[in-house]
Amino acid sequence: MAAYRRDLNRYLSWCTARGLTQVVAITANDVSDFAASLRSGSKFGGALSSASAARTVVSVRGFHRFALLEGLTPSDPSCDVQPPSTSRRLPKALDYSDVERLIACAGDVDSPIGLRDRALVEFLYGTGARISEAVTLDIDDIDLVNRTVSVIGKGDKQRKLPLGDYAARAIEAYLIRGRSVFSVKGRGTARVFLNTRGAPLSRQSAWAVLKASAERAELNLGISPHTLRHSFATHLLEGGADVRVVQELLGHASVTTTQIYTLVTADTLKQVYLTSHPRAL
C-alpha cells in the first residue's frame, strides 16, 4: 500500500507540474510521457529500475481504471500504456567442474546419510527435477532397468525422464545400503528420500543437504536446489540439445520459459569468442 501511495504521489505531482489538475484532462500521451520519465528520472523522483517502473505504471493504470468506474472520466487514457518490460534475470549455472566438486562433497558413500545425500544431488543434476519433485518421488517411480524416472510436476502433470548412469548408480546404492537403514525406523512410506527417522525428507532438509555439500566443496555462490536445475538445462543446451527437448525435460508449459537458458548459452559463447578469437578485441 505504501508503494502504491508513493507511485501515485509521484504521478500526481508530475501531472500538476504539466498543468493537469483534472483527471479528465489527462491524455494517453501524458501517461506515456510519464511512463517514459520513470527510467530517466525527474525532479519528482530518481530513475527507477525496470521492475519499479513497471509497478508504478500498473499503479497509474489502477488509478485511471478507478476513475473510469467512478464516473470521474469518460475514458481510460492509460489502457494502452504498457509497463516497461523487466529485464530477465539470467539463471545461475555452475561450471561442470563445480558440479563434480559438489557431488564429490555431497556425502561419504560408506554411510547411509552420505549415500542418500550423494543420490539426491546426483538426481537433481542428472534429471533437472525440481526439489519438490525429488522429495515426493516414490520407489515405484524409478525404473533402474530402463533408466527412467517418473515425476509429478506443477499442475500434477507427470513426465518421464531419462536417468543417467551416474544418477542411477547413486540411487541404486542408496536404496540397497542406505534407505533400508532409515526405513526400519519409520512407518512404511514409499518415498525414496528419507530422513534418519524413516520419514519423508522435507524440502527444507533437502535444501540443507545441498547447502552443506556446497560449503564442503567451498562453492560460495549462493547455491540452491534450483541452481542444479539451471545447470542441467544450460549444460544440455551447450552440448547441442534442442530447446524444445529441454522444455520437455524441465516440464515447462511454454518454450518461452525455457528460452531464457539460451541467453546463458549465448553469453558463454560470447565470452569464449572474446577470449579466443585473435581479432575479437
- Please state whether beta strands 142-143 and 148-152 pair in parallel, antiparallel, or not at all (unpaired): antiparallel
| Chain segment 168-180, per-residue pLDDT in tens | 999 999 999 999 9
41 with 131, same domain? no
146 with 194, same domain? yes
pLDDT classification of 225: cutoffs 50, 70, 90: confident
User: Whole-angstrom Cα distance, residue 115 to residue 103?
Assistant: 11
Beta strands in 36-170 (DSSP E): 142-143, 148-152, 158-162
Flag whether 87 is in a domain: no
Flag whether 281 is in a domain: no
Indicate which residue of 10, 101, 130, 191 is catalytic.
130
Flag whether 127 is in a domain: yes
Indicate which residue of 92, 159, 211, 226 is catalytic.
226
Nearest to 120 by CA among 70, 53, 187, 195: 195
Given 200, 225, 250, which residue is the final one in a domain? 225
The percentage of residues in the chain with a pLDDT greater than 70, rounded to a whole number, is 92
The secondary structure element, H or E, covering residue 28 is helix 28-40
Given 182, 206, 225, which residue is the final one in a domain? 225
39 with 114, same domain? no
Strand order in the sheet with 158-162: 142-143, 148-152, 158-162
220 with 101, same domain? yes
pTM given for the model = 0.66
Q: What pLDDT, on a 0 to 100 scale, did the predictor assign at position 195?
A: 97
Choose from 44-48, 195-199, 260-264 the range with maximum mean pLDDT.
195-199
Flag whether 245 is in a domain: no
Backbone angles phi, psi at 30, to 5 degrees: -65, -45
Tell me what the mean pLDDT of segment 138-165 comes to: 93
Question: Quick check: 107 pLDDT over 90?
Answer: no
| Chain segment 2-36, per-residue pLDDT in tens | 788 899 999 999 999 999 999 999 999 999 999 98
Flag whether 152 is in a domain: yes
61 with 109, same domain? no
109 with 201, same domain? yes
| Contact assessment for residue 30 and residue 77, using Cβ atoms and an 8 Å cutoff | yes
Flag whether 246 is in a domain: no
Question: Quick check: 100 pLDDT over 80?
Answer: yes
Indicate which residue of 55, 191, 229, 230 is catalytic.
229
Q: What pLDDT, on a 0 to 100 scale, did the predictor assign at position 21?
A: 92
Question: Quick check: 44 pLDDT over 90?
Answer: no
105 with 166, same domain? yes
pLDDT classification of 86: cutoffs 50, 70, 90: low
Question: Quick check: 273 pLDDT over 70?
Answer: no
User: Whole-angstrom Cα distance, residue 178 to residue 194?
Assistant: 9
Flag whether 264 is in a domain: no
Indicate which residue of 18, 154, 244, 270 is catalytic.
154
Q: Which domain holds residue 221?
A: 96-225
Flag whether 166 is in a domain: yes
100 with 211, same domain? yes
Given 179, 195, 225, which residue is the final one in a domain? 225
33 with 132, same domain? no
Query: Catalytic annotation on 43?
Result: no
115 with 220, same domain? yes
Query: Catalytic annotation on 252?
Result: yes
Q: What pLDDT, on a 0 to 100 scale, did the predictor assign at position 17?
A: 93
| Chain segment 54-63, per-residue pLDDT in tens | 899 999 999 9
100 with 63, same domain? no
Please report, for the domain that includes residue 219, its CATH number.
1.10.443.10
Enumerate helices (H) and strands (E) in the chain, giving the number of each.
13, 3
53 with 173, same domain? no
Number of structural domains the chain divides into: 2
Query: Catalytic annotation on 160?
Result: no
Query: Catalytic annotation on 96?
Result: no
Which residues have a Cβ under 8 Å from the Cβ of 75 and sit 6 or more positions away?
A: 68
Indicate which residue of 55, 118, 191, 252 is catalytic.
252
Question: Quick check: 162 pLDDT over 90?
Answer: yes
Least confident of 59-68, 107-116, 202-211, 272-281: 272-281
